[in-house]
Amino acid sequence: PRHSHTFATLLHTQRPKPSMHLWLLAAFPALRLAPPVMQVRDQMSGVAPVGNARYQGGVMPTRQPLTADSSILVQGGSLRTWSYRSPSVEQVQVVLSTEGRPLDADIELWHGPDNTPCKMRVYVENGQLRPFSAVVETPRGPNTVAIRNIGQVEFPLAANVVADNVDQPSPECTSSSTTIQGGALRTYPFDPRIDSVQVLLKTDGRPLNARIELLQGPNNNKQVIELYTEDGCDRPFFCYLVTPGSGNVVRIVNTAPVEFPMTAGVVPHSINQEMSSGAVLGGDVVMGGDAGW
């Protein structure tokens, strides 16, 4: 009864004794502090640490930069897309291959809603021996490249789309372009030493409709590309055709009407210097070559 002090008086005491602290905590439970809780900074920010790196106020990237080995497996009947929102990406290279099975795919370029300025149908008899490689023009982004495997489920394919280190046609390929009128075709036979060829198709601004065929023997299509481009000057088509063996002939067909001519340049790209141009007994037949007796 002698020490009947109020709570305000106790708070103004300069140095309260330890016993007084205990009495205050017992009399006023609100003064008790919550126990300290360890909070991990990375967990609170919702970002998982990678190695010794710390991310503050950002989002960890979910997709690594595309490399030469960043192929994606596309099962039969499925669709994969690659989107590029930056307008600085003006070209992309599409590479398709298989493990030795046939390759049958549709490639489309989407530029805005319901706008497909470029599309092609690709068939390859052996996607491992003759992989498909083409450059698709993507000016004025954003653009999306869509690849659909229209083959059966037993025939998957490996797809890779890269925007850096895109192949360019050689000056010889550009300077050797010749005109192909609408409805006409032109053939380009190649020596057995030629391992691959360059194909460049373009117009003066009109639509481009063409079919590119790689033949090895009479009516034996090893690779077929059916191409459509709404503007052959703004979006020319460039690709590589792998031509192993002998008797390879590239046939270019302008499937557009006569009012829509196009120019085509087909030149050798890589040459195998170790292969002899003469015929070998028991080997492939050299079409157009001299047979030694």
pLDDT band at residue 279, thresholds of 50, 70 and 90?
very low
Residue 31 φ/ψ, nearest 5 degrees = -80, -10
* DSSP one-letter code for 104: E
Greater pLDDT, 118 or 48? 118
Query: Given this model, what pLDDT does residue 61 score?
Result: 37
pLDDT tens per residue across span 181-197: 999 999 999 999 999 99
Assess whether pLDDT exceeds 50 at residue 243: yes
Query: Given this model, what pLDDT does residue 187 score?
Result: 95
Assess whether pLDDT exceeds 80 at residue 170: yes
Greater pLDDT, 32 or 254? 254
CB 232 within 8 A of CB 201: yes
Rg (C-alpha) for the chain, rounded Å, is 34
pLDDT tens per residue across span 261-273: 999 999 999 888 7
Averaged confidence pLDDT in the chain = 79
CB 215 within 8 A of CB 221: yes
Query: Given this model, what pLDDT does residue 141 score?
Result: 78
Query: Given this model, what pLDDT does residue 52 score?
Result: 45
Residue 64: which residues within 8 A CB-CB, separation 6 or more?
70
Query: Given this model, what pLDDT does residue 293 score?
Result: 41
Tokens of 177: 């372009």
pLDDT tens per residue across span 34-57: 555 544 444 444 444 444 444 333
State the Cα–Cα distance between residues 229 and 109, nearest whole angstrom.
10
Assess whether pLDDT exceeds 60 at residue 157: yes
Assess whether pLDDT exceeds 80 at residue 125: yes
Cα 217 to Cα 187, 208, 249, 287, distances in angstroms: 13, 28, 8, 9
| Bridge partner residues of 248 (DSSP) | 216
Greater pLDDT, 25 or 279? 25
Assess whether pLDDT exceeds 70 at residue 280: no
Query: Given this model, what pLDDT does residue 15 score?
Result: 54
Query: Given this model, what pLDDT does residue 100 score?
Result: 92
**Percent of the chain beyond pLDDT 70?**
70
Query: Given this model, what pLDDT does residue 109 score?
Result: 94
| Bridge partner residues of 95 (DSSP) | 133, 160
Mean pLDDT of 91-112: 94
Query: Given this model, what pLDDT does residue 284 score?
Result: 53
Mean pLDDT of 213-223: 92
Assess whether pLDDT exceeds 80 at residue 259: yes
Left, alpha or beta for 205 (phi > 0: left; psi -120 to 50: alpha)? left
Assess whether pLDDT exceeds 90 at residue 32: no
State the Cα–Cα distance between residues 217 and 210, nearest whole angstrom.
21
State the Cα–Cα distance between residues 76 and 117, nearest whole angstrom.
25
The pTM score is 0.69
pLDDT tens per residue across span 51-84: 444 433 333 333 344 444 578 999 999 999 999 9
Query: Given this model, what pLDDT does residue 276 score?
Result: 55
